[in-house]
A and B are shown apart, each in its own frame.
Chain A
Amino acid sequence: MPAPTQLLPLIRNCEIGRIYNTVCCCHHKHLCCLSPHLVHNHLRCAPQKKLATLCPKENFHQFIHARSYVSTPQRFYLTPPQVNSILKANEYSFKVPEFDGKNVSSILGFDSNQLPANAPIEDRRSAATCLQTRGMLLGVFDGHAGCACSQAVSERLFYYIAVSLLPHETLLEIENAVESGRALLPILQWHKHPNDYFSKEASKLYFNSLRTYWQELIDLNTGETTDVKEALINAFKRLDNDISLEAQVGDPNSFLNYLVLRVAFSGATACVAHVDGVDLHIANTGDSRAMLGVQEEDGSWSAVTLSYDHNAQNESEIERVKLEHPKSEEKSVVKQDRLLGLLMPFRAFGDVKFKWSIELQKRVIESGPDQLNDNEYTKFIPPNYHTPPYLTAEPEVIHHKLRPQDKFLVLATDGLWETMHRQDVVRIVGEYLTGVHHQQPIAVGGYKVTLGQMHGLLTERRARISSVFEDQNAATHLIRHAVGNNEFGAVDHERLSKMLSLPEELARMYRDDITIIVVQFNSHIVGAY
């Protein structure tokens, strides 16, 4: 991408913020004019964006804020402590509290972390303990075309799931409490990093939508005990539906009105784990992934995938999409491995451009605020758009009964899976958590090895061990490997430093946002079931 690189020195030399801002503006406008196809070609070498079109950041205020700290010199060599402070900025660990010296939960705790590539980051993560039912919820959300949708999903989805799981009596109790203005039973206990925020402005709106949902659930009372799988699917679909409805209805408050539209027009994938005792449910929508770390009897690690990617690499998913549309669209519905030649994930929240009819889209945009009207992306209708909806938020749910050998679960957005093989992910986490390195001793045995080669190999092996001790968080450790691994699978500090000091304009070309949650299971409890 020639434009930003040429602009860089200019930006760096700009001392007056105003000039700098205009420069930035210009450069993005410039990019917007490029045809999607052209941009796509330019991006070939880099990890591809979820959307083939490059869209300017709709929240301009936030955009400027994010940019402002980039005016420091961008090319410099980071020292190991600097690298660590970047890697650890978003790390979070939660240990399940022990009662009477014993942890009775099947989860020991979890480590999570995220590393931005977009500015601002479009990934989100959530973790919460269900207080009215048993179990814990953990999820990673990968936004595209902005972070509005992923932010909304990360705030709201767990409430929808929790409510779906609640028994009739509890729902009634909650509804009565709201009705009579009494204190509400707490539904979720969140485990949040200080950087994970909830939007205050929309909370009332969100709450009303949720309340409508549980009122419907009360009315629908089937008398049956709630099936987790069904609850998850219902919650996903309901939330996506609410996002869509809120955008159609609008809000008298112009800020909220703009917000709900941004949520609906941006998109997000979700990969959520619900753990209750030995019952592990993974609900996945999109191309994030859940991976189970299994320790074999000989101590080695193997990976069990607990989710299906919803993208063009999944044959059955292509099949599904094609079947949902007339034969005439068979060629256009999946093009260049993208939905309608545009979208990489085949399932997602939001993204109403792939769900609403053309008329509905036009109507909403025209009646919407000016910002929306000015936005090239939202006005743009996907080509060959004949039989919407093309996209759904319905998750695929996999149920797994935990076994003592299932030691941990990795939930991560595609930023991780693009850079590392699942087997490596599981091995690195497994070795980190057990502190044991199943490094095969090296033997020369007849091979031609020079002293220099051997030395290089040994230094790497040592670095691999020492990098373990730097991290207190399994997710951070994994990110360090994902970003810093060289061809030998060892963390190379120089590479790590280069990758982390990339200017924000370039970072997205080398990697995607990475969000990771590593859940550690309690083998003793799991074994006792």
Chain B
Amino acid sequence: MADYSNKLYQQLEQETGIKTGYVKTGSISLAQTQDRLISLKRIASRLSVMGIPCEIMAPKQVAQLHPLINIHDLVGAMYVPEDAVVSSVDVSLALANAASRNGVQIHERTSISHVMIQKGCVTGVETDRGQIECQYFVNCAGQWAYELGLSNEEPVSIPLHGCEHFYLLTRPLKKPLESNTPTIVDPDGRIYIRSWQGGILSGGFEKNPKPIFTEGRNQLEIQNLHEDWDHFEPLLSSLLRRMPGLEALEIMQLVNCPESFTPDMRCILGESPTVQGYFVLAGMNSAGTSFGGGAGRYLAEWMVNGCPSENVWPLDLKRFGALQSSRTFLRHRVMEVMPLIYDLKVPRWDFQTGRQLRTSPLYDRLDAQGARWMEKHGFERPKYFVPPGKDLLSLDQSKTFYKPDWFDIVGSEVKCCKEAVCVIDMSSFTKFEISSTGDQALEVLQYLFSNDLDVPVGHIVHTGMLNEGGGYENDCSIARLNKRSFFMISPTDQQVHCWAWLKKHMPNDSNLLLEDVTWKYTALNLIGPRAVDVLSELSYVPMTPEHFPSLFCKEMSVGYANGIRVMSMTHTGEPGFMLYIPIEYALHVYNELMSVGQKYGIRNAGYYALRSLRIEKFFAFWGQDLDTFTTPLECGREFRVKLDKGTDFIGRDALMQQKQDGVCKRFTMFILEDHDTDLDLWPWWGEPIYRNGHYVGKTTSSAYSYTLERHVCLGFVQNLDKETREALVVTPDFINRGEYEIDIAGQRFQAKAKLYPFSSLFTQRRRKDEMELSGYHGK
């Protein structure tokens, strides 16, 4: 995104003739610690495969590039020579100018009172100078976006919050600083420094940000707030530490310019889930200029083509729901987010503020048993359970790029899942029920989903919800409860997106009912070979595969509680059951499971164990591995697509075409060969994959497989033409005949590529799922 911005600004001056202050200065990111250097190396290895030149250098080289810098406390740095600086005001002017030339009208000094909406579509805006009719409306109001979003009759929730942001301007140095002196980013010192009119401009992201306008009484005009030198003192100290020579430099001004921040440090982009034609681009987290160009392009593509040209799910407005809109939540969260911009970003990091918002009824019970929690879409999920008497490192000390301190804990949970039985609370999953008076539900689902849903009652179908391009909008499991109603389970963060997608594509039929039942059920994953025994003891129903084959759903009683939906699937490929329990029974069922399970060695487990299990089984997960540009054919899920199920479905044409042409990328599993789990850096995601020394793609997720005793990375392999960089067809043969390496922070590790999971891992009876899989490939 920043790359496009860079190119755009570079051209802009030529196109419009307006000076944008574009100077190619390059940038140097400094590392004061080894961990920071690792983080920079990771960035560098990603940048270089994107074709952006960058270099990891020793402190001495930094001194050669910048005349003022103190390098004594540095361990290294990253130099990106192509980085540039622009004047944001001039860029805006140039962009406005270019737009006007192409017929865009700009109304200055006009304020919007609200956006007019009819039947869920934007029809125009009401301003203090009258109405303006329009089909599309883009809320780019920056720190005002939140309030503007709420001003409509049908409010649009845009979770962002302003924070004061300070930067310092100085008078020129005695020997004025060259305008092309590289920009310095010193994240450990929390500051950035660039040359500015012969002096410097320096600001930063302090540890104790000052959120403003929580009450919503926002300033009416863009104007700078009061300077607060005492607040700036830590940043000034670190500036003078970095450049001691500046002591005698005279201050010009300390600018306090509010910036808006989002709950997860990523900007907000996309169409409102409730109002058609209402687009948003806001919450740039202080990176407005560098990401603005790219974000603008994606938004334009979205409006014109219906979707952007790349996966923007991490930025999509629909990743948030109304639950992130509380002002208190936003205030607390942005106070964490702003310092985080320069904090070390380590794997498996969780936000600490705005927690314990959505919890399962078992939360307290699990917490008392040592659960450590992570949060997804506001929902608390257990990561792992710390056994009594064992202590983990404190939060700050636990930050590592190497083997984490919970390694053995999760290992024992995985072992228990493999050999006995574990319970994982998975209540956070999004759960919908679709029912109708007639066949409407089946009809619409058949159209929306790629797999055949016309299955006997009680069957569960894994299926993708595809877009026109055949890409995954959602990956879910649907159980047919009866002839006319279906129960749909999707990833946690799909709650808003999936709902909007279904609403958008469902006919406006009063006989068709869609209901969000996420809050109604507590989901327990009873996972492991002894799950059968536990459950049959509690229900007096034979649970053996003969009576309860894989991927079946039955309502039955567990303990005293009746009406528990038991599904024979575990989201991991391990044997076991998912229990969907009406919440009032949750504690009872959990207690029964634990007490009966005792003799089978039952214990609690968390998501880290689940993750290790699913990744070693090569299970892709939507949002991490799968996105809207991935088709089922590209990830080995042809068996979940029924092109000939008798009805058309969204994405069918694209898939037909792809089936004929072949796929250009292929979801592949890599087993790291010469990686030392104890000593080497751990893979995370986004590591470049090299095939025979050439870059072919990036990993999307990774985990340590306790069974294989190796790291497993999942990722996509492309076949890029050496000259044209065009993506060619990737055949299984292409995958199999290659020597692979994974680049972790600049160090390459040999990896073995596999297109199918280790069959040896499936010690249990083969289930329907794999039967189909093997059948399809004639294996």
A444 touches B236 (CB 8 A): no
Asked if B228 is at the interface (CB within 8 A of a chain A CB), the reply is yes
Interface residues of B in 149-187 (CB under 8 A from A): 170
- Residues of chain B with a CB closer than 8 A to A455's CB: 233, 236-237, 240, 247
Chain A residues numbered 427-466 whose CB sits less than 8 Å from any CB in chain B: 439, 441-444, 448-452, 454-455, 457-459, 461-462
Q: A458-B233, A459-B233 are in contact. Are A448 and B250 (CB under 8 A)?
A: yes
Q: Which residues of A contact B246 (CB under 8 A)?
A: 451-452
B251 is contacted by which of A439, A449, A459, A462 (Cβ under 8 Å)? A449
Closest B residue, CB atoms, query A458: B233
Chain B residues closer than 8 Å to A444, beta-carbon distance:
227, 229, 251, 253-254
User: A457 — nearest CB in chain B belongs to which residue?
Assistant: B229
**A-chain residues with CB within 8 Å of residue B227 when the two chains form the complex:** 441-444
Which residues B249-264 have CB closer than 8 A to chain A? 249-251, 253-254
Given contact pairs A441-B228, A444-B227, A444-B254, A451 touches B233 in the complex (Cβ within 8 A)? no
User: What separation, in Å, do the CA atoms of A459 and B228 have in the docked complex?
Assistant: 14
Q: Does B230 contact A (CB under 8 A)?
A: yes
Chain A residues with Cβ under 8 A from B229's Cβ?
441-444, 454, 457-458
The residues in B between 212 and 258 inclusive whose CB is less than 8 angstroms from any CB of A are: 226-230, 232-233, 236-237, 239-240, 246-251, 253-254
Contacts of B232 in A (CB 8 A): 458
A455 CA to B232 CA in the complex, in Å?
10
A454 touches B251 (CB 8 A): yes
Instruction: Find chain B residues with CB under 8 A from A450 CB.
Output: 247-251
Query: Which residue of chain A has its CB nearest to the CB of B232?
Result: A458
Return chain A residues, CB-CB under 8 Å to B250.
448-451
Closest to B202 in A: A451
Contacts of A461 in B (CB 8 A): 230, 233
User: How many whole Å from B14's CB to the nearest CB in chain A?
Assistant: 38
How distant is the Cα of A449 from the Cα of B248 in the complex, in angstroms?
Answer: 9
1/0 per residue A147-163: CB within 8 Å of B?
00000000000000000
Contact call A442/B230, Cβ cutoff below 8 A: yes
Complex-state Cα separation, A461 to B237, whole angstroms: 14
> How far, in whole Å, are A443 and B229 apart by their CA atoms in the complex?
8
What's the Cα separation between A499 and B226 when bound, in Å? 40
In the bound complex, how far is the Cα of B712 from the Cα of A192, in angstroms?
A: 73
Complex formed: what's the CA distance from A457 to B226 in Å? Answer: 18
Residues of B within 8 A of A441 (CB): 226-230
Question: How many B residues have CB within 8 A of the partner chain?
Answer: 20
Pick from A439, A442, A452: contact of B248, CB below 8 A: A452
CB-CB < 8 A to A448: which residues of B?
Answer: 250
The chain B residue with its CB closest to the CB of A442 is B229
- Separation of A451 and B248 alpha carbons in the complex (Å): 6
- Which chain B residues lie closer than 8 Å to A457 at the CB level? 229
How far, in Å, is B90 (CB) from chain A's closest CB? 26
Q: Which residues of A contact B170 (CB under 8 A)?
A: 451
CB pair B230–A451 under 8 Å, yes or no, is no
B163 to chain A, nearest CB (A): 19
Given that A441-B226, A449-B251, A452-B247 are known contacts, is A462 also in contact with B236, CB under 8 Å in the complex? no
List, in ascending order, chain B residues with CB within 8 A of A452's CB.
240, 246-248
CB of B226 within 8 A of CB of A451, answer: no
How many of chain A's residues touch chain B, expressed as a range? 10 to 19
Q: In chain A, what residue has the closest Cβ to B227?
A: A443
Decide: B228 and A451 in contact? CB cutoff 8 A. no
Q: Mark B606-631, 1 if CB is under 8 A from A, else 0.
A: 00000000000000000000000000
Contact indicator per residue, chain A 454-482, by CB within 8 Å of chain B (1) or not (0): 11011101100000000000000000000
Give chain A nearest CB distance to B314 CB in angstroms: 39
Residues on A with C-beta less than 8 A from B240 are 451-452, 455
As a 0/1 sequence over residues 402 to 434 of chain B, the CB contacts with chain A under 8 angstroms (1 = contact) are: 000000000000000000000000000000000
When chains A and B are docked, how far (Å) is the Cα of A450 from the Cα of B240?
Answer: 11
Q: Report the minimal beta-carbon distance from B344 to chain A, rounded to whole angstroms.
A: 25
Q: Bound state CA distance, A451 and B249, in angstroms?
A: 6
Residues of the B chain whose Cβ atoms lie less than 8 Å from the Cβ of A449:
250-251
Contact at B230–A439, with CB atoms within 8 Å?
Answer: yes
B253 touches A451 (CB 8 A): no
Q: Which B residue's beta carbon lies closest to that of A465? A: B230
A312 and B125 CA atoms in complex are apart in Å by 82
Q: Quick one: closest A residue to B226, CB to CB?
A: A441
Q: Which of B229, B246, B247, B254 has the most CB of A within 10 A?
A: B229
Q: How far is the CB of B441 from chain A (nearest CB, A)?
A: 64
Q: Give B578-637 interface residues, CB cut-off 8 Å to A.
A: none
- Chain A window 228-241, contacts with chain B (Cβ cutoff 8 Å), 1 for yes, 0 for no: 00000000000000
Pair B248/A462 contact, Cβ less than 8 Å: no
A450 CA / B254 CA spacing, docked (Å): 12
Cα distance, A462 to B228, chains bound together (Å): 13
Among B233, B237, B254, which residue has the most Cβ atoms of chain A within 10 A?
A: B233
What residues of A have a CB within 8 angstroms of the CB of B249 in the complex?
A: 450-451
The minimal Cβ–Cβ distance linking A451 to chain B, given in whole angstroms, is 5
Chain B hits for A439, CB < 8 A? 230
Closest to B229 in A: A442
- CA gap between A459 and B236 in the complex, in Å: 10
Asked if residues B254 and A451 are in contact (CB atoms below 8 Å), the reply is no
A-chain residues with CB within 8 Å of residue B251 when the two chains form the complex? 444, 449-451, 454
- Considering the chains assembled together, what is the distance between the CA atoms of A451 and B237 in angstroms? 9
Q: Which residues of A contact B237 (CB under 8 A)?
A: 455, 459
Q: Mark A2-43, 1 if CB is under 8 A from B, else 0.
A: 000000000000000000000000000000000000000000
CB proximity of A29 to chain B, nearest CB, Å = 53
Give min CB distance, B70 to chain A, whole Å. Answer: 14
A86–B390 Cα distance when bound, in Å, is 42
Which of B226, B228, B249, B250 has the most chain A CB atoms inside 10 A of its CB?
B250
CA A443 to CA B227, docked complex, whole Å: 7
Counting chain B CB atoms within 10 Å of each CB, the highest count among A441, A443, A451, A462 belongs to A451
Closest CB of chain A to B677's CB: distance in Å? 44
Within the complex, which residue of B228, B236, B253 is in contact with A454, where a contact is CB–CB below 8 Å?
B236
Closest residue on chain A to residue B247 by CB atoms = A452
| Minimum distance in angstroms from B725 CB to a CB of chain A | 48
Residues in B whose Cβ lies below 8 Å from that of A443: 227, 229
Point out the residue from B226, B230, B239, B253 that lies within 8 Å of A462, measured CB to CB: B230
Interchain CA distance A416-B247 in the complex, whole Å: 36
CB neighbours of B233 from chain A (8 A)? 455, 458-459, 461-462
Q: How far is the CA of A448 from the CA of B228 in the complex (A)?
A: 17
Q: Which residues of A contact B253 (CB under 8 A)?
A: 444
Bound: A442/B233 CA distance, A: 11
| Closest-CB distance, A133 to chain B (whole angstroms) | 50
Shortest distance from the beta carbon of B239 to any chain A beta carbon, whole Å: 7
A window 70-105: CB within 8 A of B: none
Bound Cα distance A452, B239 (Å): 10
In the assembled complex, the CB of B227 is this many whole angstroms from the nearest CB of chain A, namely 6
- Checking A442, A451, A459 against B239 with a beta-carbon cut-off of 8 angstroms, the contacting residue is A451
In the complex, the chain B residue whose C-beta lies closest to that of A441 is: B228
**Interface set of B (CB-CB < 8 Å, partner A):** 170, 226-230, 232-233, 236-237, 239-240, 246-251, 253-254
- Which 8 residue pairs are nearest across A and B when measured between Cβ atoms? A452-B247, A458-B233, A442-B229, A449-B251, A451-B249, A450-B248, A451-B246, A444-B251
A-B contact pairs, 19 of them (CB 8 A): A441-B227, A441-B228, A442-B227, A442-B230, A444-B251, A448-B250, A450-B248, A451-B248, A451-B250, A452-B246, A452-B247, A455-B233, A455-B237, A455-B240, A455-B247, A458-B229, A458-B230, A458-B236, A462-B230
Supplied contacts A441-B229, A450-B250, A452-B240, 5 more A-B pairs, CB within 8 Å: A441-B226, A442-B230, A448-B250, A451-B170, A451-B248
